[in-house]
Amino acid sequence: MPSNALPPGPKGTLLAGNLREFVAHGLDFYAGLAREYGDLASFRFGPFRRVFLANHPDLIEQVLVTDAKHYVKHFGVRNYMPVLGNGLVTSDGDFWLRQRRLSQPAFLKHRVASYAPVMAELTRAMLDRWRPGMAVHVHTEFGQLTSAIALKTLFGLDDPGDRAAFVEWLRTAFQLLTGRFRKLVNLPLWVPTPDNVRIRRAVRHLHRVVDGFIAAGRARKEPGDDLLSRLVAARDDDGSRMTEAQIRDEAMSLYLAGHQTTALTLTWSWYLLATHPDAERRLVEEWARVLGGRPPTTDDLAHLPYTDAVLAEAMRLYPPAYLTGREATKDLELGGYRVRKGYTVFMSQWVTHRDPRYFGPDPDAFRPERWLDGLAKRLPKYAYFPFGGGPRVCIGNTFASMEGAILLATVGQRYRFTVDPGEVGTNPQITLLPSNGIPATLQER
């Protein structure tokens, strides 16, 4: 019988619970809970929202895999629904399953492999624009590149129109929505507070842009073989089609999930490489040996183990998705405790990926070599889970891994980055951003 007591955790205040510590300490809040309370901790957001933090791979597996059907996405994800809508990332139940089935074919291995030439071509276009000595923000450059790749591969579109404005609206919307997550009381979005008005304005602009993607897709004479064309053409068993709003939600979710995360993996990789010259040297040697100066193809990827190891190690230390959560739909057991219906269970890649039990003795060190001797096979399955797991595992993981390796090797054979001196911190929003975008100078190799 599970215990009716709560797992150990910080006391918190009557009204706010532990919200204040969370706002003050960000990622360290979760890391501190794990350090102090162990494999399963409990805390409260506000007066009623009970949250568990699961810090052991077996507990994580139980939530994401074994008991997956009794959990849904959590309140933090729902918080972003004004932007993401009811798409693959945010939806649940039968609705989610239908959308997942519909989208899955676009992510099969051979289909993903067919996107490689587009990735290489758009990367070359970026490199042709770059000049030695140019000052860049690493995050901005890779955000633009992965955005162009997502638009082309998922929607068959060349980067349309005013991307800068779109990015700005997106930043505003996410920042304001993340802000809501940190407050004790939030008025519904229809109440015209200054922040709510800004959120709604940003969402209107974003929707208009995505509607433009869809209209451009529809206007093509030949329906494309891309995901958007599939969604537009898809019919349910009863012959019904997806509504415009559904297509827009799906397009928005895939576009956002599909480029921000990969841009971050590359951004953090370049930051780590710029600050670890030995690892960078080894990487360049691998490229010289295997590629000899030519751009990589999908056939090369199996022969670039150190490239893979660098990406794996960057996602270990700076996981783009740093927190995954679920809400129980009925009373359940976890680690000997009772998870009541409506409770949230968080699992943090940021915390588990730096756990000395699995990555010791120096878990904060950037050492890609640790992945070269079969570590992935030796680890408990959910000690490392940058792409989540179970039925809701990232649908784009093959896409992301291929894109990461192709972009790293294509860029890295021509340029390296000298990161400007100064503190580089983390800015945990919906994904794990670098606090300053990583300003750097381009050096030709």
**Closer to ligand HEM by Cβ: residue 98 or 200:** 98
Q: Return the structure tokens found at 286.
A: 């691998």
Q: Smallest gap, in angstroms, from Cβ of residue 330 to ligand HEM?
A: 19
x/- contact string, 95-114, with ligand HEM (CB under 6 A)? Answer: -----x--------------
Q: Smallest gap, in angstroms, from Cβ of residue 62 to ligand HEM?
A: 14
Let me know: does 184 contact 19? Beta carbons within 8 Å: yes
Exactly one of 19, 34, 88, 411 binds ligand HEM (CB under 6 A); that residue is 88
Exactly one of 396, 412, 434, 439 binds ligand HEM (CB under 6 A); that residue is 396
Tell me: does residue 20 bind ligand HEM (CB under 6 A). no
Q: If we measure between CA atoms, which residue out of 369, 213, 225 comes closest to residue 305?
A: 369
In order of 28, 112, 172, 260, the CA distances from 158 in angstroms are 40, 18, 24, 18
Let me know: does 44 contact 368? Beta carbons within 8 Å: no
Which one of 48-56, 204-212, 317-325, 331-339 is the stretch in contact with ligand HEM (CB under 6 A)? Answer: 317-325
Q: Which amino acid is at 326?
A: R
Exactly one of 399, 417, 439, 440 binds ligand HEM (CB under 6 A); that residue is 399
Q: Smallest gap, in angstroms, from Cβ of residue 345 to ligand HEM?
A: 11
Q: Smallest gap, in angstroms, from Cβ of residue 214 to ligand HEM?
A: 17
Exactly one of 147, 229, 262, 298 binds ligand HEM (CB under 6 A); that residue is 262
CA angle (428 as vertex; 376, 187 as ends), nearest 5: 135
Q: How many residues line the site for ligand HEM (CB under 6 A)?
A: 22
Q: Smallest gap, in angstroms, from Cβ of residue 95 to ligand HEM?
A: 11
Which residue ranges make up the site for ligand HEM (CB under 6 A)?
Answer: 88-89, 100, 253-254, 257-258, 261-262, 265, 320-321, 324, 386-388, 392, 394-396, 399-400
